[in-house]
Structure 1
Amino acid sequence: MEDLTKDLETGFITELDRYLYNNGRHYEIYEKLGAHPKTYNGKQGMYFAVWAPHASQVGVVGDFNGWNPDLNPMVPLADSGIWEVFVPEVGPGQLYKYSVTTSSGKILFKADPYAFYAEFRPQTASITYDLSAYTWKDQAWVKEREKQDPLSGPVSIYEVHLGSWKRKNREDKEGFYTYKEAAHELAEYIKDMGYTHIELLGIAEHPYDGSWGYQVTGYYAPTSRYGTPDEFMYFVDTMHQNGIGVILDWVPAHFPKDAHGLSEFDGEACYEYADPRKGEHPDWGTKVFDYSKYEVCNFLIANALYWVEKYHVDGLRVDAVASMLYLDYGRDQGDWVKNCGGGNENLEAIEFFKHLNSMVKKRGKGAVVIAEESTAWPKVTDQPENSGLGFTFKWNMGWMHDFLEYMKLDPYFRKYNHHKMTFGLTYFTSEKYILVLSHDEVVHLKGSMINKMPGLLEDKFSNLKLGYTFMLGHPGKKLLFMGQDFGQFHEWDEKDSLDWYLAREPLGENLLDYVRDLLHLYRKYPALYDNDYVWKGFSWINANDNEHSIFSFIRHGKGSQNSLLFVLNFTPVKRPEYRVGVPKQGKYTLVLDTSHGLYEKDKTALVYKSEKTPWDGQDNSIAYPLPAYGAAIFCF
């Protein structure tokens, strides 16, 4: 065994590997820890390595040794907390776990934190897997992505939970679409609709469907619910070949207490903080990663790079950022620990984010990192050298809250809440925002998007079309959860498919057609995306017509690009000759309205010539028949 250890130290995990890992700088550590096909002394087999610094003994068990902890003991590598062993005649596709003997003598059976594949739940074993077989065909996409600036490009995201987007009537794996099956249908749908990206909930392996993938046990394993790692590569590859970016939800904030997972991995606090006042989330019943440990930060940062480099994903949406930044998040007075300066900021998590985002920017070839951060923490999307966290984008949760509160109101009361729609335009340059209407807003008795709208059935659809038009015009990238583009009535339920028949009903089909028109309009006119984060990209025409609940504003393009004038009526009252000021003389072409959709489809666009009638503080104006719940977009 000593000879084996010496040889492995010089061949597999080297002294340099250990140094980098123990100092949080081994960005390919997943190539060393975990299970890897190797040849040793002329024999093919599998090399296993795991970090378990408090263990008194570790072994690898599996279907290849009858799950016997005594048959394949692992050897500790000096001063590293890493254990290793080579097991001959073990190949890809075999089940395994680690048998971890704690300092008290108890034996724990743990899944591999670095496993590339895992059993279909409720089974919990890891599966040996070789990631090197897949041949990618998306080189053109990746090369082009590296040259693009995501801040000045169009980003319209379709948020999807694969297990409930669609299901098939079959018994295997409860009718889930496989990655391969979903790839083609989703790519066709997304291309037709005009979204630029897809964002996937819950791809990393997780034991409980009801967590939606936000309580992870296999950070390096695409969930086996939908297929193999190669099949997930095929999914991403297919999206890229169809011009669609792929964003994954990623959860570095916390992990569940399942016995086979990371919780007390070697019998003590290993991946989590030891003090429960820092190491447990009382709201969620989960463990909090210990960002003071280099090995834990290395595990997470290498994982982010793993998804970008091995699976070619275009971005990560980081879940629950606020819970990481604040030591008192979700905790009562006296149940949290202040930082060294007496504050509530988690200084270790702050440094983790700066490190993470710097490395993704450096190595990610244009991949983005998005913060789901629900507070007013400053400089989330500013660079670390400017005391920022370094994220590419931040979800605009404040806009989402105000927008939905306004849209839910009976139109009579909207004039008293006009500020809810204008407030977001006072701070849109403070961060690089994405406007989101996400899955979180259509669960837990919050109601689906269509059922948030006031009025009778047709009023609801009219309101939703109007609301989506305002969202399109508001500066910031866009995200919409699946089903809300055709008026899904039921709240989202991860156990059931969307009600796709609604997309064939007249009102649902009309809404879907309209959202498609909005998305194609968005991609056609750079004024809607290339000046998202500067004041010159937006100007009000009239922000103060609260009596009529009408908003009018302009999105400005760069240089000689076309600008777009938006006029939106949030009441059921028609305005036959609604006059709106315009910034210059000339022709204003109606390119889209809520009654007709996109005019260019049938070449019937109407042109309005400005009049020298001062209005809204402008020298010129146009008059337009604005319908009830009507919106119009003019190009000039």
Structure 2
Amino acid sequence: MVKNKQLGLIAHDEWLAPYEDAIRGRHEHAVWKINQLTQNGKSSLSDFATGHLYYGLHKQGRGWVFREWAPNALDIYLIGDFSDWQEKEEFRCRHIPGTGDWELVIPAGKIKHKDLYKMKVHWRGGEGERIPAWATRVVQDENTKIFSAQVWNPRKKHTWHDAKFKPDTAPLLIYECHVGMAQDAEKVGTYKEFTEKILPRVKEDGYNCIQIMAIQEHPYYGSFGYHVSSFFAPSSRCGTPEELKELIDTAHKMGLAVIMDIVHSHAVKNEVEGLGNLCGDPNQFFYPGDRHEHPAWDSLCFDYGKDDVMHFLLSNCKYWLEEFHFDGFRFDGITSMLYYSHGLGEAFMNYGDYFNGHQDDNAICYLTLANKLIHEIKPHAITIAEDVSGMPGLAAKFEDGGYGFDYRLAMNVPDYWIKTIKEKKDEDWHPSSIFWEMTNRRADEKTISYAESHDQALVGDKTIIFRLIDADMYWHFSKDNRNGMVDRGIALHKMIRLVTASTINGGYLNFMGNEFGHPEWIDFPREGNGWSYKYARRQWHLVDDKNLCYHYLGDFDREMLATLKTVKNIQKQPVVEIWHNDGDQILAYSRGDLVFVFNFSPTQSFPDYGFLVPKGDYKVVLNTDAVEFGGNGLADDSVVHKTNFDPLYEKDGKEWLKIYIPARSAVVLRKNK
């Protein structure tokens, strides 16, 4: 960055000018750290992020080598099936002088594939069994529920077939999913089942990317994967590493990108399974004092100012990209990382709240370096920031003073829909407000828009379909037993999704099952529900049953995505407002050669509502009110709509398009070439 040149971030938003010194300071901090870690460019960030190739257990020649970073340890033994779980001299690690590292060379034949093992660590005043921080395979005993690392060296390694794969981001259409709950049966689903049963559904529905949750190993299934213990180990609940690789490879063959929900914002407090007290120093990986624990999440906060922690986390990014061929990451809990307060109790009312000295520059530096590294390794990688604060520059280019994410989640959108459904009567849904909320975003940052994600599906909250229909979902969702509440819910569910997806400037996201209005919340097995899997699954049989209304929503979702794809790079096309009238509750806008028209009125239909559009003939390509989508079919969609001449607008090349718009419906038209 040139010192005296105006930052691109500020060039796009002059209101950031008063904070140029702070923005520049954060950027220069990242540049300084990159230079430090790469010896002023003599190496690369990718060269630095190779901890997973050094630490952990690795096959070496005919034997093995094990290494661990444990600076506070006095002695370390590997114990396991191979030592009868006893400390034996032949499995005693040696300290590497001048470092915090320990090493053990294991001759051939001493350990074998699937052996269970742990470290037995001694420190001043204590000792304990620990799972190595860099373990790449961790399993849980079905009877004792105890977790152990596992020697993993299968005879048949996965052979990749995706060398030419490149994610399709024009636009990015994300299917957020959880492998364990992606099946009808009341159990934990497997990578294999997901590959065979779910990937074909995702492909058929028109999505081009899956975002997988809960990949990193976590002791408590009900944490949804957010309390991670082993950062380099794919969850063994769902199968083997090879089966996860097969899932990803198969997805790539289908043209589906695969991104991972990565958790670097905190770690589980568990000491036996996790990093909480690996070798007698609770602060080895984490901040000391008041910043040690997250006050709301009951977890530990990484110390991003330590080079060794930076090494651990950056290596983790590289590991998942190279070992499992993930196409990128959705970084969870960015807000918690950015602020000393973790964003708790913060209003974020003005720009000063982002530059008031309450931000963690170490975490900002880490996120910036993580993005640099990821795109250095995979130029076409996808990175998404989950931030509720609205921090400017998250998805702006590094060179412009940004943090380098490709996208940020438009978290205002689902909040808006929840608030609207909860607090406003149908007749008070104002198109001007809807359009503003869907399109209000920073000019230099791409977003992922969504009506709802897994957050809104969790027990204690409600999905959109449940907010609209509630208990009538259980009694009136068969085709021959619908009522007014169901009809309203089906209509608005489609309209909400269409206005959200058609106004994107980057991508669109949906959580699995929500596209067809899955009726149940998500509640993982826990003591309070008798450890039941009843609500930790997706009931695909509902959308497959043509006697029920679910397929209407699923069919519409598929056709909606197909319609959006007919406009090349629709996410880059300007959203041009044609008309809104809050009294009539009518909204119209165009993107490319498509015209989107919404009538949010619950009662008023309009037979000849007119808009000024470019002269031509217009054909209906999608109608939420179509019978095949559970609508009333009140309009004749086979009619070609010809514009009407008006001399007042002749010089603009515009004429009146007049169409019939039934109440509570939306239609998409295409201008004939």
How high is the TM-score relative to the length of structure 2?
0.81
CA displacement at 1:84 relative to structure 2: 0.4
For residues 66-85 of structure 1, the aligned pairs below 5 Å read 66-71=84-89, 72-85=91-104
Task: Give the 3 Å change call, closer, same or farther, for CA 564–427 of structure 1 in structure 2.
Answer: same
Candidates 490, 494, 502, aligned match of 2:542: 502
Q: CA 1:568 to 1:408, structure 2 compared with 1: closer, same or farther past 3 Å?
A: farther
Kindly provide the CA deviation profile for residues 319-340 of structure 1, in whole angstroms up to 9, marking residues without a partner as x: 000000001125689xxxxxxx
* Aligned partner (choices 109, 124, 131) of residue 103 of structure 1: 124
Question: C-alpha separation between the residues in 2 aligned to 1:258 and 1:426?
Answer: 41
Counterparts of 1:186-225 in structure 2, within 5 Å, are 186-225=198-237
Any conservation in 2 of the 1:592–1:632 contact (CA below 8 Å)? yes
User: What amino acid sits opposite 2:538 in the alignment?
Assistant: L
Q: Does 1:115 align with 2:100?
A: no
- Pairs within 5 Å for 1:343-362: 343-362=357-376
Give the match for residue 491 of structure 1: 521
* Equivalent residue, structure 1, for 2:384: 370
Within the alignment, does 1:472 sit opposite 2:501 as a pair? yes
Q: Please, which of 143, 148, 153 is the counterpart of residue 130 of structure 1? A: 153
1:626 aligns to what? Answer: 661
- 1:290 equivalent to 2:303? Answer yes
| Counterparts of 2:419 and 2:514, CA distance in 1 | 17
TM-superposed deviation, 1:358: 0.4
- Residue 410 of structure 1 deviates from its aligned partner by 5.0
Rounded Cα–Cα distance in structure 2 between residues aligned with 1:365 and 1:135: 23
- Pick closer, same or farther for the CA change 1:416–1:179 going to 2, 3 Å: closer
Residues 1:520 and 2:550 are matched in the alignment? no
CA contact (8 A) 2:420 2:429 kept: no
* Kept after mapping to 2: 8 A contact 1:406/1:417: no
User: Structure 1's 330 and 399: CA in aligned 2 closer, same or farther, altered over 3 A?
Assistant: closer
In the TM superposition, what is the alpha-carbon distance from 1:346 to its structure 2 partner?
0.2
1:448 is displaced (CA, Å) by 2.0
State the partner residue of 2:594: 564
1:271 and 1:611, CA in 2 relative to 1: closer, same or farther beyond 3 A? farther
Following superposition, the deviation at residue 79 of structure 1 comes to 2.2
Matched, 1:540 2:580: no
Are residues 271 and 367 of structure 1, via their aligned partners in 2, closer, same or farther at CA, if it must alter by over 3 Å?
farther
Q: Paired residue for 1:243?
A: 255
Q: Which residue of 2 aligns with 1:31?
A: 53
The reply to whether residue 93 of structure 1 matches residue 114 of structure 2 is yes
1:12 corresponds to which residue?
none
> What secondary structure, in the 3-state scheme, does the structure 2 residue paired with 1:130 have?
coil
Output the CA distance in 2 between the equivalents of 1:223 and 1:605: 51
2:468 is equivalent to residue 459 of structure 1:
no
Contact 1:309–1:364 (8 Å) recurs in 2: no
Partner Cα distance (1:588, 1:262) in 2:
61
Give the Å deviation of 1:296.
Answer: 0.8
Moved more, 445-454 or 623-632: 445-454
Partner of 1:11: none
AA aligned opposite 1:517: E
**AA aligned opposite 2:519:** F
Counterpart code for 1:95? L
| 1:324 aligned partner, one-letter code | M
Q: Over residues 428-468 of structure 1, what are the superposed CA-to-partner deviations in whole Å (9 max), with x where a residue is unaligned?
A: 53521001221001224221220122661111111101111
| In 2: Cα distance, 1:24 partner to 1:187 partner | 31
Equivalents in 2 of 1:271, 1:316: separation in Å? 25
Pick one of 330, 339, 350 that aligns with 1:326.
339
Query: Among 239, 242, 251, which residue is 1:230 paired with?
Result: 242
Alpha-carbon distance in structure 2 between the residues aligned to 1:362 and 1:24:
7
Q: Which residue of 2 aligns with 1:609?
A: 642
Structure 2 residue identity aligned to 1:542: W
How many pairs does the alignment contain? Answer: 580
Would you say the 8 A contact 2:438–2:500 is kept in 1?
A: no
**Aligned partner of residue 453 in structure 1, secondary structure:** helix
Paired with 1:501 and 1:107, the residues of 2 have a C-alpha distance of 52
Instruction: State the shift of 1:267 in Å.
Output: 1.0
User: What percent identity do the matched residue pairs reach?
Assistant: 26
In 1, the alpha carbon distance for the partners of 2:296 and 2:585 equals: 39
CA gap of 1:608–1:17, structure 2 versus 1, over 3 A, is closer
Q: Quick one: structure 1 residues 342 and 463, their matched pair in 2 at CA, closer, same or farther if it must change by over 3 Å?
A: closer
Range with bigger deviation, 62-71 or 420-429: 420-429
| Distance in 1 of aligned mates of 2:284 and 2:599 | 53
Closer, same or farther in 2 for the Cα pair 1:331/1:158, shift >3 Å? closer
Aligned to 2:173: 156
What do you get for the CA RMSD once the two structures are aligned? 2.8
TM superposition shift of 1:530: 3.5
Correspondence 1:434 to 2:421? no
CA distance in 1, matches of 2:225, 2:176: 14
CA distance in 2, matches of 1:448, 1:62: 46
What are the equivalent positions in structure 2 for 1:572-583 lying under 5 Å apart?
Answer: 572-583=602-613
Return the offset for 1:577: 2.0
Is contact 1:45–1:91 with CA below 8 Å preserved after alignment?
no
Rounded to whole Å, the distance in 1 between the matches of 2:172 and 2:38 is 38
User: 8 Å contact 2:54–2:67 — kept in the other structure?
Assistant: yes
1:367 Cα offset (Å): 1.2
Tell me whether 1:303 sits opposite 2:278 in the alignment.
Answer: no
Q: 1:438 to 1:84 in 2, by over 3 A?
A: same
Q: 2:163 is matched with which residue? A: 139
Q: Deviations over 1:99-154 (max 9, x none)?
A: 111222x112111211111113632101112389211111221xx44xx7x4xx12
**CA deviation string 1:372-426 (max 9, x = no partner):** 0111201101122322111111000112211332244554442468425423423
Following superposition, the deviation at residue 427 of structure 1 comes to 2.4
With 404-413 and 190-199 compared, the bigger mean Cα shift is at 404-413
1:137–1:53 Cα change, 3 Å:
same
TM-superposed CA distance for 1:488, in Å, is 1.2
**Counterparts of 1:277 and 1:441 in 2: how far apart (Å)?**
31
Give, as a single letter, the amino acid of the residue that structure 1 aligns with 2:115: Q
Residue of structure 2 equivalent to 1:449: 464
Aligned to 2:20: none
Q: Is the 8 A contact 1:514 1:597 kept in 2?
A: no
Q: Secondary structure of 1:49's match?
A: strand
Q: Secondary structure at the match of 1:58?
A: strand
Q: Give, in whole Å, the separation in 1 of the partners of 2:70 and 2:129.
A: 12
For 1:434, the aligned partner's letter is: I
- 1:355 counterpart SS class: helix
Using a 3 Å threshold, how does the CA distance of structure 1 residues 291 and 223 change in structure 2: closer, same or farther? same
